[in-house]
């Protein structure tokens, strides 16, 4: 709405729609029964232009509400002629919580002759729940808010025009429903209900800053393959790893590698090995996750990621990093590397490790969330032990990230070197993680394909139960 100021024709059309659909039919008749002049006041700053356009076209006098009190002169909060009784209509472009309108109304009614009964907004984001019969929102100060368009109507128009699919419409409606506040309610936003992986992909696509985020591809694959399983292929022989990839490929969405534990092969160069693994990934439709755990300064991280003996950026769709070296440097190093190879790449931040003596804790989880929010155009998710808490005021942002958890096994509680295990049911169902990473629980089994199938089913049914 802010950019409308640069489009005079649109500005005049929007103002006219406000007049024809709301001011004239719903407000003026009623106000004309009262004594007093009808005047307008735009909520600063973006709605000032709409109020001005209406004032010129329909000859309404205007009042201006200052954002801050002048420190010199009269120190007035309201500018304009205030010498006779007047009915002021407040004009606003978008309403979210209603706080801006309420603030302006408080300044207006502080003036002797001004009364305010109505506000007109162009776009209602439907974040306020209202049962009022004669307006869209009844503010706690008694002001009736009338809107031209609300977000539900807006997405329905986009759907009708075939700009978005019905799944996006449903996700947005569900989001609105879960995010409404009742006026006077002190809690901020209630948590949105559980969302499916598909809905999260669609919601991410609707966010401009997430359009290129790898999380979209991963959520979509999880939904279509009905899998939230990643196998950690910690075998030491290249041929064995390729064989394992063929065995578990149909069950997984991500195949996790540690490229530096593989013995150099006599038959395959690194490049040939990477090409073969990529072919298997394309055949069975899974992504390759190189669990490199980068942790150096940004420039060295970039060198380790692009080029060198492993040339990770070329073949690994996703990698991960610690944040010990800083909150931006390592992420930027990897992001620049990804830009250099010109392919869509993902990054997972290590928030909490699975080991019993880990130094990662609530603070590292908090930092990881802050970094993810700051670098949301590139960061796709976390290595963690469950869904992470989002910062105050952005509680619902959890849906944007893929929570990936290693340390998963059905039968063991841990190993003798500090690894700790939880079951898929606990990790996905209770801790609300999205993706389980299973190593020895699968590749140490006699029948690896069967074991992968079992873990996939367990992980998926825990996810389905979570959705109920």
Ligand X SMILES: O=c1ccn([C@@H]2O[C@H](COP(=O)(O)O)[C@@H](O)[C@H]2O)c(=O)[nH]1
Chain positions contacting ligand X, by CB under 6 A = 232, 234, 258, 291, 353-354, 383, 406-407, 419, 437-441
Q: For ligand X, give the closer residue by CB, 69 or 356.
A: 356
Q: For ligand X, give the closer residue by CB, 81 or 261.
A: 261
Report phi then psi at 149, rounded to 5: -145, 140
Residue 432 burial (CB count, 10 A)? 16
User: Is 346 among the annotated ligand-binding positions?
Assistant: no
Please report how close the Cβ of residue 195 comes to ligand X at its closest, in angstroms: 25
Please report how close the Cβ of residue 413 comes to ligand X at its closest, in angstroms: 12
For residue 401, which of 375, 424, 382, 386 has the smallest C-alpha distance?
382
Q: For ligand X, give the closer residue by CB, 437 or 454.
A: 437
Q: For ligand X, give the closer residue by CB, 172 or 262.
A: 262
Q: For ligand X, give the closer residue by CB, 197 or 443.
A: 443
- Cα–Cα distance measured from residue 238 to residue 265, given in angstroms and rounded to the nearest whole number: 7
Please report how close the Cβ of residue 325 comes to ligand X at its closest, in angstroms: 18
Q: For ligand X, give the closer residue by CB, 101 or 437.
A: 437
Please report how close the Cβ of residue 439 comes to ligand X at its closest, in angstroms: 3
- Cα–Cα distance measured from residue 423 to residue 409, given in angstroms and rounded to the nearest whole number: 5
User: Is 234 among the annotated ligand-binding positions?
Assistant: yes
For residue 31, which of 107, 90, 116 has the smallest C-alpha distance?
116
Q: What are the distances in angstroms from CA 35 to CA 7, 19, 31, 268, 395?
A: 37, 21, 8, 90, 47
Residue for token pair 């960061």? 379
Please report how close the Cβ of residue 176 comes to ligand X at its closest, in angstroms: 37
User: Is 239 among the annotated ligand-binding positions?
Assistant: no
Q: Do the beta carbons of residue 369 and residue 390 sit within 8 Å? A: yes
User: What burial letters (b/e) apply to 397-413, b meaning 16+ CB within 10 Å?
Assistant: bbbbbbbbbbbbbeeee
Residue for token pair 């100021």? 5
Q: Do the beta carbons of residue 31 and residue 21 sit within 8 Å? A: no
The H or E element that residue 150 is part of is strand 144-150
| Bridge partners of residue 62, in order along the sequence | 40
Given 76, 189, 296, 457, the catalytic residue: 296
Q: Is 293 a catalytic residue?
A: yes
For residue 386, which of 373, 404, 367 has the smallest C-alpha distance?
404
The H or E element that residue 100 is part of is helix 99-109
Please report how close the Cβ of residue 243 comes to ligand X at its closest, in angstroms: 18
User: Is 337 among the annotated ligand-binding positions?
Assistant: no
Given 93, 136, 217, 291, the catalytic residue: 291
User: Is 415 among the annotated ligand-binding positions?
Assistant: no
Q: Do the beta carbons of residue 213 and residue 377 sit within 8 Å? A: yes
Please report how close the Cβ of residue 173 comes to ligand X at its closest, in angstroms: 37
Q: Running DSSP on this structure, what letter comes out for residue 326?
A: -
Q: For ligand X, give the closer residue by CB, 424 or 439.
A: 439
Residue whose beta carbon is closest to ligand X: 439
Given 117, 293, 431, 432, the catalytic residue: 293
User: Is 440 among the annotated ligand-binding positions?
Assistant: yes
Q: At what angle do helices 270-284 and 238-248 cross, to 10 degrees?
A: 10
Q: Running DSSP on this structure, what letter comes out for residue 104?
A: H
Pairing of strands 62-65, 114-124: unpaired
Q: For ligand X, give the closer residue by CB, 47 or 435.
A: 435
Q: What number of H helices and E strands is found in the chain? A: 17, 17
Q: Do the beta carbons of residue 344 and residue 217 sit within 8 Å? A: yes
Q: For residue 186, give both structure tokens.
A: 């002190």
Please report how close the Cβ of residue 415 comes to ligand X at its closest, in angstroms: 7
Order of all β-strands in the sheet with 137-138: 78-79, 62-65, 37-42, 86-95, 114-124, 144-150, 137-138
Supply the residues annotated as catalytic. Answer: 291, 293, 296
Instruction: Point out the annotated binding site for substrate.
Output: 234, 256, 354, 419, 439-440
Instruction: Point out the annotated binding site.
Output: 234, 256, 354, 419, 439-440
């Amino acid at each position: 709405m802010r950019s409308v100021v640069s489009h005079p024709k649109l500005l005049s059309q929007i103002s006219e729609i406000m007049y024809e659909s709301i001011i004239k039919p719903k407000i003026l008749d009623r106000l004309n029964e009262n004594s007093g002049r009808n005047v307008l006041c735009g909520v600063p700053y973006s709605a000032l232009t709409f109020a001005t356009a209406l004032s010129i076209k329909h000859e309404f006098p205007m009042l201006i509400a200052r954002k801050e009190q002048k420190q010199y002169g009269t120190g007035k909060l309201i500018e304009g002629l205030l010498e006779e009784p007047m009915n002021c209509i407040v004009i606003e472009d978008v309403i979210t919580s209603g706080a801006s309108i309420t603030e302006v109304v408080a300044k207006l009614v502080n003036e002797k002759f001004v009364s305010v009964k109505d506000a007109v907004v162009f776009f209602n984001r439907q974040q306020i729940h209202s049962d009022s019969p004669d307006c869209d929102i009844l503010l706690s100060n008694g002001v009736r808010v009338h809107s031209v368009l609300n977000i539900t109507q807006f997405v329905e128009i986009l759907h009708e025009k075939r700009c978005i699919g019905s799944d996006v419409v449903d996700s947005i409606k569900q989001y609105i429903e879960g995010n409404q506040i009742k006026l006077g309610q002190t809690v901020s936003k209630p948590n949105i209900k559980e969302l499916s992986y598909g809905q999260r992909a669609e919601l991410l696509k609707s966010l401009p800053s997430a359009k290129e985020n790898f999380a979209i591809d991963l959520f979509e694959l999880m939904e279509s393959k009905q899998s939230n399983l990643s196998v950690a292929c910690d075998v030491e022989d290249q041929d064995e790893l390729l064989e394992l990839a063929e065995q578990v490929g149909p069950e997984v969405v991500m195949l996790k590698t540690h490229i530096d534990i593989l013995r150099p092969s006599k038959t395959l160069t690194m490049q040939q090995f990477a090409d073969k693994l990529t072919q298997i990934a394309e055949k069975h439709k899974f992504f390759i996750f190189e669990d490199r755990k980068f942790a150096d300064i940004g420039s060295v991280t970039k060198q380790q990621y692009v080029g060198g003996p492993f040339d990770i950026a070329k073949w690994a769709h996703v990698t991960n990093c610690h944040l010990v070296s800083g909150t931006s440097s390592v992420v930027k190093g990897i992001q620049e590397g990804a830009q250099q190879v010109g392919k869509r790449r993902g990054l997972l931040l290590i928030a909490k490790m699975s080991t019993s003596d880990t130094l990662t804790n609530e603070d590292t989880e908090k930092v990881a969330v802050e970094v993810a929010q700051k670098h949301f155009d590139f960061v796709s998710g976390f290595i963690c032990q469950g869904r992470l808490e989002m910062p105050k005021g952005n509680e619902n942002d959890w849906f944007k990230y893929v929570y990936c958890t290693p340390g998963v096994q059905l039968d063991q509680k841990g190993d003798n070197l500090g690894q700790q295990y939880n079951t898929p049911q606990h990790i996905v169902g209770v801790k609300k993680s999205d993706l389980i990473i299973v190593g020895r629980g699968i590749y140490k089994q006699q029948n690896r394909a069967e074991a992968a199938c079992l873990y996939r089913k367990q992980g998926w049914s825990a996810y389905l139960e979570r959705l109920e």
